Amino acid sequence: MIVGVVFFFIIGGLTIFLFLSGSHSKGLLDFGEIEVIKIEGPIFDSLHTIKELHRLQKSNSIKAVVLRIDSPGGAVAPSQEIYEEVKKLKAVKKVVVSMGTMAASGGYYIACAADKILAQPGTITGSIGVIMESFGFQNWLEKSQLENRVLKSGMLKDVGSPFRSMTPEEQAYLQSVIDNMYGQFTEAVSQSRNISPEKIKILSDGRVFTGEQAYETGLVDGLGTIYDAINEAKKLAGLAADAGVIWPHEEKGVLDFLFPTSSVKSKIENFLGNFKGFQLLYMISY
């Protein structure tokens, strides 16, 4: 009986410890006035990130936030949604971006909402533009003597179908959609970075920049490590040099265990994301 009670308390204690040391521990065991938030990998869903950003908006203890971005970009709407939440956060806290290996396209879009952006000299960033890709199986269907039968309510209902060639009218229509998305991107960069539309037009042909080149063109504010970004956030928020920092907890998923190399995991996430269908992307093209 005593052994059973002791075992119960040990298991209960371990359960509470694991709960507190996990992702729910923010505000329970962590103390600090600056918090680091990670935005990693292809951006196909924004829910987790915007919940974190919204939590920080409401926090009374956090005075500044550092966004660590290491992403090639992703789908348009999630990138825009995170960008808008960062803008809301910036209205009540100081926000500094620290770019990792890559903060391109949608990753750069998000970064533009911050008070300041720091990159590494070798960071890959920029890639301001929109891309739309799809596969075509019409030749395979013809060789296989298969027929794709479609009933639709309007001429453009199956635009982009992989089972037939695209008509000139459909290409023009999709290009107009891309151009609209592109205009939204360039306008956000122009307004957030205070760069003239004329200059943005030159910089936004889809090309990538190293962090050093981005600094020279005004796409980022400086070069430095994540610790430099943290120090910059302290200065902007008027915090002491020894102000505490809350670092993100490592949350392991299935892909982390199967593919511990981040580059491999990123490519798999990118591959799986592409199976969500015909998409418009603020994303660097591999």
**Alpha-carbon gap, residue 161 to 137, rounded angstroms:** 9
Contact 159, 170 (CB under 8 A): yes
Q: How far apart are CA 207 and CA 84, in angstroms?
A: 24
Rounded to whole angstroms, the Cα distance separating 31 from 107 reads 28
Of these residues, 46, 79, 98, 105, which one is catalytic? 105
Catalytic residue, candidates 157, 199, 201, 276: 157
C-alpha distances out from residue 261 to 101, 264, 267, Å: 14, 6, 10
Which residues are bridge partners to 35 per DSSP?
Answer: 65, 246
Contact residues for 162 (Cβ-Cβ < 8 A; gap 6+): 134, 135, 136, 137, 138
Facing residues of 282 across strands?
Answer: 74
C-alpha distances in Å from residue 155, one per residue of 78, 135, 278: 28, 20, 17
The secondary structure of 184-234 as a DSSP string is: HHHHHHHHHHT--HHHHHHH-SS-EEEHHHHHHHTSSSEE--HHHHHHHHH
User: 278 is written with which tokens?
Assistant: 């015909």
Please indicate whether residue 105 is annotated as part of the active site.
yes
Catalytic site residue 276? no
Q: Which residues pair with 125 in a beta bridge?
A: 103, 209
Residue appearing with tokens 């992989």: 162
Active site residues: 105, 157
